[in-house]
Chain A
Amino acid sequence: MEAIKDKKNLQVVINAGWCKSCGICIDLCPKGALGRDNRDKAVWQYPDKCIRCGLCELRCPDLAITLQEAEEEE
Protein backbone atom coordinates (compact mmCIF):
# COMPACT_ATOMS: atom_id res chain seq x y z
CA MET A 1 0.00 0.00 0.00
CA GLU A 2 2.97 2.33 0.59
CA ALA A 3 3.74 1.97 -3.08
CA ILE A 4 0.25 3.08 -4.07
CA LYS A 5 0.66 6.20 -1.96
CA ASP A 6 3.80 7.15 -3.77
CA LYS A 7 2.66 6.62 -7.31
CA LYS A 8 5.53 8.64 -8.73
CA ASN A 9 7.69 5.69 -7.86
CA LEU A 10 5.79 3.58 -10.40
CA GLN A 11 7.13 3.19 -13.88
CA VAL A 12 5.21 2.19 -16.98
CA VAL A 13 7.25 -0.67 -18.38
CA ILE A 14 6.43 -1.82 -21.91
CA ASN A 15 7.57 -5.17 -23.20
CA ALA A 16 8.41 -4.43 -26.85
CA GLY A 17 8.67 -8.14 -27.58
CA TRP A 18 4.96 -8.62 -26.78
CA CYS A 19 3.64 -5.26 -28.05
CA LYS A 20 1.86 -5.53 -31.42
CA SER A 21 1.64 -1.80 -32.13
CA CYS A 22 -2.17 -1.77 -31.97
CA GLY A 23 -2.17 1.78 -30.61
CA ILE A 24 -4.91 1.20 -28.03
CA CYS A 25 -2.84 2.29 -25.03
CA ILE A 26 -1.55 5.36 -26.85
CA ASP A 27 -4.99 6.45 -28.08
CA LEU A 28 -6.74 5.90 -24.75
CA CYS A 29 -4.13 7.29 -22.34
CA PRO A 30 -6.00 10.15 -20.66
CA LYS A 31 -2.84 12.27 -20.47
CA GLY A 32 -1.10 11.60 -23.77
CA ALA A 33 1.89 10.18 -21.94
CA LEU A 34 2.61 7.41 -24.45
CA GLY A 35 4.27 7.64 -27.86
CA ARG A 36 5.47 5.31 -30.62
CA ASP A 37 8.90 4.12 -31.62
CA ASN A 38 9.92 3.64 -35.25
CA ARG A 39 8.06 0.31 -35.38
CA ASP A 40 4.93 1.89 -33.87
CA LYS A 41 5.54 0.06 -30.59
CA ALA A 42 4.31 1.94 -27.56
CA VAL A 43 6.83 3.84 -25.45
CA TRP A 44 6.39 5.72 -22.19
CA GLN A 45 7.46 8.93 -23.82
CA TYR A 46 6.32 11.58 -21.36
CA PRO A 47 6.63 10.25 -17.81
CA ASP A 48 6.01 13.78 -16.50
CA LYS A 49 2.51 13.76 -17.96
CA CYS A 50 1.70 10.25 -16.65
CA ILE A 51 -0.64 10.06 -13.64
CA ARG A 52 -0.06 6.31 -13.14
CA CYS A 53 -3.76 5.58 -13.61
CA GLY A 54 -2.96 2.11 -14.95
CA LEU A 55 -5.50 2.24 -17.78
CA CYS A 56 -2.85 1.34 -20.34
CA GLU A 57 -1.95 -1.77 -18.34
CA LEU A 58 -5.62 -2.76 -18.00
CA ARG A 59 -6.38 -2.32 -21.67
CA CYS A 60 -3.34 -3.71 -23.45
CA PRO A 61 -4.61 -6.81 -25.31
CA ASP A 62 -1.12 -8.26 -25.35
CA LEU A 63 -0.35 -7.98 -21.64
CA ALA A 64 2.72 -5.99 -22.63
CA ILE A 65 2.38 -3.18 -20.07
CA THR A 66 3.16 -3.30 -16.36
CA LEU A 67 3.18 -0.49 -13.83
CA GLN A 68 5.95 -1.40 -11.44
CA GLU A 69 8.20 0.01 -8.77
CA ALA A 70 11.30 1.63 -10.17
CA GLU A 71 13.63 -0.71 -8.27
CA GLU A 72 11.75 -3.84 -9.47
CA GLU A 73 13.15 -3.27 -12.93
CA GLU A 74 15.65 -5.81 -14.12
Chain B
Amino acid sequence: MPVKRYLRQRFFPQLWCAGCGHGQIMASLIRAIEELGLQKNNVVVVSGIGCSSRMPGYLDFHTLHTLHGRALAFATGVKMGRPELNVIVPMGDGDASAIGGNHLIHAARRNINITAIVMNNNIYGMTGGQSSPTTPVAAKSTTAPLGNIDPAFDLVELAKGAGASFVARSTTYHSKEMQNMFVKAINHKGFSFVEVLTQCPTYYGRKNEGVSPTEMMKKFATTTTSIGSPKKKENPELIERGVFVDQERTEYASSYCEMINQMRKQK
Protein backbone atom coordinates (compact mmCIF):
# COMPACT_ATOMS: atom_id res chain seq x y z
CA MET B 1 0.00 0.00 0.00
CA PRO B 2 1.62 3.24 -1.14
CA VAL B 3 0.83 5.21 2.03
CA LYS B 4 3.86 7.43 1.54
CA ARG B 5 2.33 9.02 -1.52
CA TYR B 6 -0.07 10.82 0.82
CA LEU B 7 2.48 12.05 3.34
CA ARG B 8 4.53 15.18 3.72
CA GLN B 9 7.57 13.09 4.36
CA ARG B 10 9.67 16.07 5.35
CA PHE B 11 7.80 16.13 8.68
CA PHE B 12 8.67 12.51 9.54
CA PRO B 13 9.28 10.85 11.89
CA GLN B 14 6.07 12.44 13.20
CA LEU B 15 5.92 14.04 16.65
CA TRP B 16 3.36 11.75 18.27
CA CYS B 17 4.73 9.72 21.19
CA ALA B 18 5.81 6.11 20.70
CA GLY B 19 2.71 3.92 20.54
CA CYS B 20 0.24 6.83 20.27
CA GLY B 21 -2.88 5.64 18.45
CA HIS B 22 -3.28 8.86 16.51
CA GLY B 23 -0.80 7.62 13.87
CA GLN B 24 -2.80 4.42 13.45
CA ILE B 25 -5.95 6.43 12.79
CA MET B 26 -4.10 8.55 10.23
CA ALA B 27 -2.83 5.38 8.52
CA SER B 28 -6.34 3.89 8.29
CA LEU B 29 -7.69 7.17 6.95
CA ILE B 30 -5.03 7.25 4.23
CA ARG B 31 -5.89 3.68 3.25
CA ALA B 32 -9.58 4.58 3.09
CA ILE B 33 -8.83 7.55 0.82
CA GLU B 34 -6.63 5.33 -1.37
CA GLU B 35 -9.38 2.70 -1.51
CA LEU B 36 -11.91 5.34 -2.59
CA GLY B 37 -9.51 6.58 -5.25
CA LEU B 38 -10.01 10.23 -4.25
CA GLN B 39 -7.81 12.78 -5.98
CA LYS B 40 -5.51 14.52 -3.53
CA ASN B 41 -6.68 17.81 -4.92
CA ASN B 42 -10.28 17.07 -3.91
CA VAL B 43 -9.58 16.32 -0.26
CA VAL B 44 -9.52 18.95 2.48
CA VAL B 45 -8.51 17.99 6.02
CA VAL B 46 -9.35 20.51 8.72
CA SER B 47 -8.30 20.24 12.36
CA GLY B 48 -8.36 22.29 15.56
CA ILE B 49 -5.61 22.08 18.16
CA GLY B 50 -4.46 19.03 20.11
CA CYS B 51 -2.17 16.07 19.52
CA SER B 52 -4.89 14.64 17.25
CA SER B 53 -5.07 17.92 15.39
CA ARG B 54 -1.50 17.53 14.19
CA MET B 55 -2.76 15.09 11.60
CA PRO B 56 -3.30 17.53 8.69
CA GLY B 57 0.30 18.69 9.02
CA TYR B 58 1.43 15.24 7.93
CA LEU B 59 -1.05 14.77 5.10
CA ASP B 60 -0.42 15.90 1.56
CA PHE B 61 -3.94 17.20 0.86
CA HIS B 62 -5.40 20.67 1.22
CA THR B 63 -5.06 21.15 4.95
CA LEU B 64 -6.09 23.65 7.61
CA HIS B 65 -4.81 23.61 11.19
CA THR B 66 -7.17 26.02 12.94
CA LEU B 67 -8.29 26.77 16.53
CA HIS B 68 -9.00 24.40 19.40
CA GLY B 69 -12.62 23.25 19.09
CA ARG B 70 -13.35 25.26 15.95
CA ALA B 71 -12.38 22.83 13.21
CA LEU B 72 -16.00 22.12 12.25
CA ALA B 73 -16.73 25.84 11.97
CA PHE B 74 -13.84 26.33 9.53
CA ALA B 75 -14.79 23.13 7.71
CA THR B 76 -18.37 24.38 7.35
CA GLY B 77 -17.00 27.46 5.60
CA VAL B 78 -14.92 25.34 3.24
CA LYS B 79 -17.84 23.05 2.43
CA MET B 80 -20.28 25.91 1.80
CA GLY B 81 -17.79 27.59 -0.53
CA ARG B 82 -16.67 24.45 -2.35
CA PRO B 83 -19.32 21.76 -1.83
CA GLU B 84 -17.72 19.44 -4.38
CA LEU B 85 -14.69 18.82 -2.13
CA ASN B 86 -14.40 15.98 0.40
CA VAL B 87 -14.02 17.67 3.77
CA ILE B 88 -12.60 15.54 6.58
CA VAL B 89 -12.26 16.77 10.15
CA PRO B 90 -10.11 14.83 12.63
CA MET B 91 -10.68 16.02 16.22
CA GLY B 92 -9.63 15.15 19.74
CA ASP B 93 -12.20 14.16 22.36
CA GLY B 94 -11.64 17.45 24.19
CA ASP B 95 -11.57 19.39 20.93
CA ALA B 96 -14.83 17.84 19.66
CA SER B 97 -16.89 17.44 22.81
CA ALA B 98 -15.72 20.07 25.31
CA ILE B 99 -14.80 23.42 23.74
CA GLY B 100 -16.12 22.30 20.33
CA GLY B 101 -19.26 20.55 21.55
CA ASN B 102 -21.60 23.18 20.15
CA HIS B 103 -20.02 23.10 16.72
CA LEU B 104 -20.39 19.33 16.76
CA ILE B 105 -24.08 19.22 17.61
CA HIS B 106 -24.99 21.94 15.14
CA ALA B 107 -22.97 20.44 12.29
CA ALA B 108 -24.86 17.21 13.01
CA ARG B 109 -28.20 19.00 13.17
CA ARG B 110 -27.57 20.72 9.84
CA ASN B 111 -26.47 17.48 8.27
CA ILE B 112 -23.65 19.17 6.39
CA ASN B 113 -21.68 16.74 4.23
CA ILE B 114 -18.52 16.59 6.33
CA THR B 115 -16.71 13.54 7.73
CA ALA B 116 -15.96 14.10 11.42
CA ILE B 117 -13.54 11.74 13.13
CA VAL B 118 -13.13 11.87 16.90
CA MET B 119 -9.83 10.39 18.05
CA ASN B 120 -11.00 9.54 21.55
CA ASN B 121 -8.13 8.88 23.95
CA ASN B 122 -10.25 9.89 26.99
CA ILE B 123 -7.87 12.70 27.94
CA TYR B 124 -6.37 16.04 26.95
CA GLY B 125 -3.12 14.69 25.57
CA MET B 126 -1.42 17.78 24.28
CA THR B 127 -1.77 19.89 27.43
CA GLY B 128 -0.58 17.25 29.88
CA GLY B 129 -3.37 14.84 30.75
CA GLN B 130 -6.34 16.82 32.07
CA SER B 131 -9.81 15.22 32.21
CA SER B 132 -11.93 15.50 29.10
CA PRO B 133 -15.70 14.93 28.76
CA THR B 134 -14.93 11.31 27.85
CA THR B 135 -12.66 10.50 30.80
CA PRO B 136 -14.36 7.58 32.56
CA VAL B 137 -15.58 7.88 36.15
CA ALA B 138 -12.80 6.93 38.60
CA ALA B 139 -10.06 7.33 35.98
CA LYS B 140 -7.15 9.51 37.02
CA SER B 141 -5.94 12.61 35.28
CA THR B 142 -3.90 15.71 36.09
CA THR B 143 -7.12 17.51 37.08
CA ALA B 144 -8.55 14.47 38.88
CA PRO B 145 -5.63 12.99 40.78
CA LEU B 146 -7.98 11.09 43.11
CA GLY B 147 -10.22 9.88 40.30
CA ASN B 148 -12.73 11.55 38.03
CA ILE B 149 -16.28 12.07 39.37
CA ASP B 150 -17.78 13.53 36.17
CA PRO B 151 -19.88 11.05 34.21
CA ALA B 152 -18.49 10.62 30.68
CA PHE B 153 -20.21 11.44 27.41
CA ASP B 154 -21.03 8.57 25.10
CA LEU B 155 -20.06 10.35 21.90
CA VAL B 156 -22.02 7.99 19.67
CA GLU B 157 -25.21 8.73 21.63
CA LEU B 158 -24.41 12.44 21.50
CA ALA B 159 -23.98 12.39 17.71
CA LYS B 160 -27.14 10.31 17.27
CA GLY B 161 -29.12 12.66 19.49
CA ALA B 162 -27.88 15.70 17.60
CA GLY B 163 -29.06 14.19 14.33
CA ALA B 164 -25.91 12.95 12.57
CA SER B 165 -27.06 10.88 9.62
CA PHE B 166 -24.08 8.51 9.79
CA VAL B 167 -22.67 7.40 13.14
CA ALA B 168 -20.04 4.72 13.70
CA ARG B 169 -17.44 3.57 16.20
CA SER B 170 -14.24 1.56 15.93
CA THR B 171 -10.87 1.30 17.69
CA THR B 172 -7.17 1.36 16.86
CA TYR B 173 -7.04 -2.40 17.46
CA HIS B 174 -9.47 -2.92 14.57
CA SER B 175 -7.50 -1.29 11.73
CA LYS B 176 -9.43 -2.83 8.83
CA GLU B 177 -12.81 -2.18 10.41
CA MET B 178 -11.80 1.41 11.06
CA GLN B 179 -10.73 1.77 7.42
CA ASN B 180 -14.07 0.35 6.22
CA MET B 181 -15.94 2.81 8.42
CA PHE B 182 -13.95 5.72 7.04
CA VAL B 183 -14.79 4.56 3.52
CA LYS B 184 -18.50 4.46 4.35
CA ALA B 185 -18.36 7.75 6.23
CA ILE B 186 -16.62 9.58 3.38
CA ASN B 187 -19.07 8.10 0.86
CA HIS B 188 -22.05 9.13 2.98
CA LYS B 189 -23.89 12.25 1.80
CA GLY B 190 -24.54 14.13 5.01
CA PHE B 191 -22.84 14.62 8.35
CA SER B 192 -20.87 11.51 9.23
CA PHE B 193 -19.42 10.94 12.64
CA VAL B 194 -16.87 8.25 13.42
CA GLU B 195 -15.54 7.78 16.93
CA VAL B 196 -12.26 5.88 17.15
CA LEU B 197 -11.17 4.67 20.57
CA THR B 198 -7.44 5.25 20.74
CA GLN B 199 -4.57 5.09 23.20
CA CYS B 200 -2.57 7.92 24.77
CA PRO B 201 0.13 5.87 26.48
CA THR B 202 1.92 8.98 27.73
CA TYR B 203 -0.86 10.52 29.81
CA TYR B 204 -3.92 8.30 30.02
CA GLY B 205 -1.87 5.13 30.01
CA ARG B 206 0.72 6.23 32.52
CA LYS B 207 -1.82 7.67 34.95
CA ASN B 208 -4.24 4.77 34.76
CA GLU B 209 -3.28 1.50 33.23
CA GLY B 210 0.47 1.69 33.60
CA VAL B 211 0.81 -0.70 30.71
CA SER B 212 2.40 -0.76 27.27
CA PRO B 213 0.72 0.72 24.19
CA THR B 214 0.11 -2.85 23.01
CA GLU B 215 -1.78 -3.71 26.20
CA MET B 216 -3.86 -0.55 25.84
CA MET B 217 -4.77 -1.60 22.31
CA LYS B 218 -5.57 -5.15 23.36
CA LYS B 219 -8.02 -3.76 25.89
CA PHE B 220 -10.06 -2.42 22.97
CA ALA B 221 -10.42 -6.00 21.79
CA THR B 222 -11.77 -7.21 25.15
CA THR B 223 -13.86 -4.20 26.19
CA THR B 224 -15.72 -3.80 22.89
CA THR B 225 -17.95 -5.97 20.72
CA SER B 226 -19.69 -5.69 17.34
CA ILE B 227 -23.20 -4.25 17.31
CA GLY B 228 -25.76 -6.98 17.80
CA SER B 229 -23.29 -9.52 19.15
CA PRO B 230 -24.74 -11.79 21.88
CA LYS B 231 -21.76 -10.90 24.08
CA LYS B 232 -23.36 -7.55 24.83
CA LYS B 233 -26.32 -9.31 26.48
CA GLU B 234 -24.00 -11.28 28.72
CA ASN B 235 -21.89 -8.24 29.56
CA PRO B 236 -23.75 -4.91 29.19
CA GLU B 237 -20.52 -3.05 30.02
CA LEU B 238 -19.09 -3.87 26.58
CA ILE B 239 -18.82 -0.91 24.22
CA GLU B 240 -20.36 -1.55 20.82
CA ARG B 241 -18.48 -1.07 17.55
CA GLY B 242 -20.03 -0.72 14.13
CA VAL B 243 -22.37 1.54 12.19
CA PHE B 244 -25.17 2.83 14.42
CA VAL B 245 -26.91 5.20 12.01
CA ASP B 246 -26.86 5.36 8.21
CA GLN B 247 -29.75 7.46 6.93
CA GLU B 248 -30.54 9.72 4.04
CA ARG B 249 -31.57 13.20 5.02
CA THR B 250 -31.54 16.61 3.27
CA GLU B 251 -27.95 17.83 3.16
CA TYR B 252 -27.17 21.39 4.20
CA ALA B 253 -24.83 22.59 1.43
CA SER B 254 -27.20 21.24 -1.23
CA SER B 255 -30.16 23.05 0.34
CA TYR B 256 -28.10 26.20 0.23
CA CYS B 257 -27.12 25.69 -3.43
CA GLU B 258 -30.74 25.00 -4.28
CA MET B 259 -31.81 28.23 -2.64
CA ILE B 260 -29.19 30.18 -4.59
CA ASN B 261 -30.38 28.61 -7.84
CA GLN B 262 -34.00 29.48 -7.03
CA MET B 263 -33.09 33.08 -6.36
CA ARG B 264 -31.13 33.30 -9.60
CA LYS B 265 -34.19 32.06 -11.50
CA GLN B 266 -36.42 34.67 -9.88
CA LYS B 267 -34.23 37.55 -11.04
Contact = CB atoms under 8 A, between A and B. Distances in A.
Nearest to B22: A61
A37 interface: no
A18 B13 contact: yes
Given A17-B13, A24-B217, A28-B214, A59 B175 contact: yes
A51 interface: no
Contacts of B27: 58, 60-61, 63
B212 A23 contact: yes
Instruction: Provide the main secondary structure of the chain A interface.
Output: loop
A33 to B, nearest CB: 16
Interface residues of B, number: 28
A17 B9 CA distance: 12
Contacts of A23: 19, 212-214
B24 A59 contact: yes
B176 interface: yes
Interface of B: 1, 3-4, 7, 12-14, 16-24, 26-28, 31, 172, 175-176, 201, 212-214, 217
Given A18-B12, A24-B19, A66-B1, 10 more contacts: A17-B12, A18-B13, A23-B212, A24-B213, A58-B27, A58-B175, A62-B14, A63-B14, A64-B13, A66-B4
